Structure 1
Amino acid sequence: MAMFVHLTSAANAPRIRRSGIRAASYGQGGARGVYCFPVLPSYTLTHQWLRELARFGSRGGLVAVHVRLDDAQHVLVGRYTDRARDAQATVPAAEAVRRIVAVDDPRGWEVFVPRAIRPREVHRIRTAPQVVGWRYVPDAHGVPPCTCFGCRVRGGYGARRLRERLPHPLDGPPPPVRVLLARVAAAGAPGDPAALREALHWFGMRRRGPLAQLTRLAAHPDPGVREDLVWAVARWSTPGVAELLDGLADDPDSDVRDAVEAVRASG
């Protein structure tokens, strides 16, 4: 029997004792199941995912659930980066342990059980120290964190200060409104399309904005500017956005009309 550890919120412990671990995670190819990792001689490697999982919050901290699986149970094994490429291998549980033990650096490796874990397969549940493992990616310590839209965690501890200290060239934080309006004014009339589209890119990251000063761009001769205007104001709560989109819904350019339709469909 192969032994694995599954890390989860302490609040889930009573339910796991009663009915096992639900197949609530999604793995390679959209399969549902449970992520875990073999119990290795190294305590640090066994619990390497703890700090990364703790970044996304947990009630009462994380606990380690030890699970015994039949050696012949088929699982997926590979690095987390292999998951996106559907490159994780389907092997028996015993083979998954052998492969992970054999690699020089098993950090970032994972095992995915494509089903729920039954109560009788739960060996024990114990507390785990909350300071073990890597965060973001293995070897991330000492490397400046990425603040792009895909990497940053909204609402995370120190997230706003981090974005202000290490602004991303495309994903902000955006310049102040007065600075953006000055760029729009400096672009002239009707305005340089490249300068206006860059300003609209930053306006699109805001929740509200100076709609009255941007409404004139709905008549800009460049359809790219009009389309970017749609995306910029789409999520604003500023009064008048709906009326502006109503006018752009009849735009002569199909890309602008499609943008309005997409915005309304997602809202």
Structure 2
Amino acid sequence: MAMFVHLMSAANAPRVRRSGIRADSRGQGGARGVYCFPVLPSYTLTHQWVRELSRSGTRGGLVAVHVRLDDAQSVLVGRYSDRARDAQACVTAAEAVRRVAALGDPRGWEVFVPRAIRPRELHRIRSVPQVAGWRYWPDAHGVRPCTCYGCRVRGEYGSRRLRERLPHPLDGPPPPVPVLLARVAAAGDPGDPDVLSDALHWFGMRRRGPLAQLAPLAAHPYAGVRENLVWAVGRWTTPGVAELMDVLADDPHPDVREAVETVREPA
């Protein structure tokens, strides 16, 4: 039997003890399953993902779930970067343990089980130190952090000060709301698409915003502006967003309708 460790929020431990681990994660090719890592002699390497996973927010910290899988169980193994290129190898659980253990530097590697973990496959659940492992990527220590919209994590400790100290030329920090609204007003009627799209780009980095002032853009004659409006406000928590998305869901342009479908998908 091959032994793996799966890291999860401590708040989910009672449910996992009763029902096992759900196949909630998305793997290579969109498959559903569970991410884990082989139990190695090195405690630090075994729990290397703790700090990185903690960045996404947890309830009660992380705990380690030790799982025993049949040696013949098919899994995917490879570096996390291989996932996007569909380059992870499909092997047995025993072979995955052998491959990872034979690596000189297994940091950044992962194993994906393409199914749920059954309760009888659980070995034990225990707490782990919350500072083990690396953040961002292996060997990131000493490298200037990136503050672009794709790399930063909303709400992360110190993220606002980091963006102010190292502003990204395209991704912020965004101009104040009054400045952006002034740009929208100055764009004219119906409004220059480039100016409006640029303002909506900055509005999209906010969690809430002046929906009443931006909602009229849903009737803009240029489909690109309507689509950018969806990307900007679709995930806001401002009251009225759902109703605006209902209107744009029936937009005559397919790109606008597709954008609404995307922002309505669970994160």
Which category of TM-score, normalised to the shorter sequence, fits these structures?
A: 0.7 to 0.9
- Identify unmatched segments of 5+ residues in structure 1: none
> CA offset at residue 62 of structure 1?
1.0
Q: Alpha carbons of 1:205 and 1:100: their partners in 2 closer, same or farther (altered >3 Å)?
A: closer
One-letter code aligned to 2:91: V
User: Counterparts of 1:72-91 in structure 2 under 5 Å?
Assistant: 72-91=72-91
Give the structure 1 partner of residue 176 of structure 2: 176
Contact kept? 2:27, 2:83, Cα under 8 Å: yes
User: Counterparts of 1:179-194 in structure 2 under 5 Å?
Assistant: none
Give the TM-score normalised by structure 2.
0.75
1:182 and 1:122 mapped to 2: Cα distance?
58
User: Counterparts of 1:28-43 in structure 2 under 5 Å?
Assistant: 28-43=28-43
2:31 and 2:259 mapped to 1: Cα distance?
30
One-letter code aligned to 1:35: Y
Contact kept? 1:205, 1:232, Cα under 8 Å: no
2:203 and 2:14 mapped to 1: Cα distance?
47
1:94 and 1:2 mapped to 2: Cα distance?
6
> CA offset at residue 28 of structure 1?
0.8
1:87 and 1:160 mapped to 2: Cα distance?
36
Give the structure 2 partner of residue 27 of structure 1: 27
Give the structure 2 partner of residue 123 of structure 1: 123
1:136 and 1:76 mapped to 2: Cα distance?
22
Q: Alpha carbons of 1:148 and 1:70: their partners in 2 closer, same or farther (altered >3 Å)?
A: same
Give the structure 2 partner of residue 146 of structure 1: 146
1:50 and 1:72 mapped to 2: Cα distance?
27
One-letter code aligned to 2:67: V
> CA offset at residue 64 of structure 1?
0.8
1:130 and 1:263 mapped to 2: Cα distance?
37
Q: Alpha carbons of 1:45 and 1:232: their partners in 2 closer, same or farther (altered >3 Å)?
A: same
2:75 and 2:181 mapped to 1: Cα distance?
55
Contact kept? 2:226, 2:256, Cα under 8 Å: no
Bigger Rg, structure 1 or 2: 1
> CA offset at residue 141 of structure 1?
1.4
* Range with greater deviation from structure 2 (100-109 or 174-183): 174-183
Give the TM-score normalised by structure 1.
0.75
> CA offset at residue 112 of structure 1?
0.5
SS at match of 1:172: coil
Q: What does the per-residue CA deviation read over 1:55-105, in whole Å, with 9 as the maximum and x for residues that have no partner?
A: 122222111111111111110000111111111110001110111112221
1:72 and 1:260 mapped to 2: Cα distance?
46
Give the structure 2 partner of residue 107 of structure 1: 107
Contact kept? 2:2, 2:94, Cα under 8 Å: yes
1:173 and 1:13 mapped to 2: Cα distance?
38
Give the structure 2 partner of residue 231 of structure 1: 228
Q: Alpha carbons of 1:91 and 1:144: their partners in 2 closer, same or farther (altered >3 Å)?
A: same
Q: What is the alpha-carbon root mean square deviation over aligned residues?
A: 3.7
1:196 and 1:118 mapped to 2: Cα distance?
51
Identity of aligned residues (%): 74
Q: Alpha carbons of 1:192 and 1:21: their partners in 2 closer, same or farther (altered >3 Å)?
A: closer
SS at match of 2:85: coil
For these two proteins, the number of residue pairs brought into alignment is: 251
> CA offset at residue 175 of structure 1?
2.6
User: Counterparts of 1:253-264 in structure 2 under 5 Å?
Assistant: none
One-letter code aligned to 1:99: R
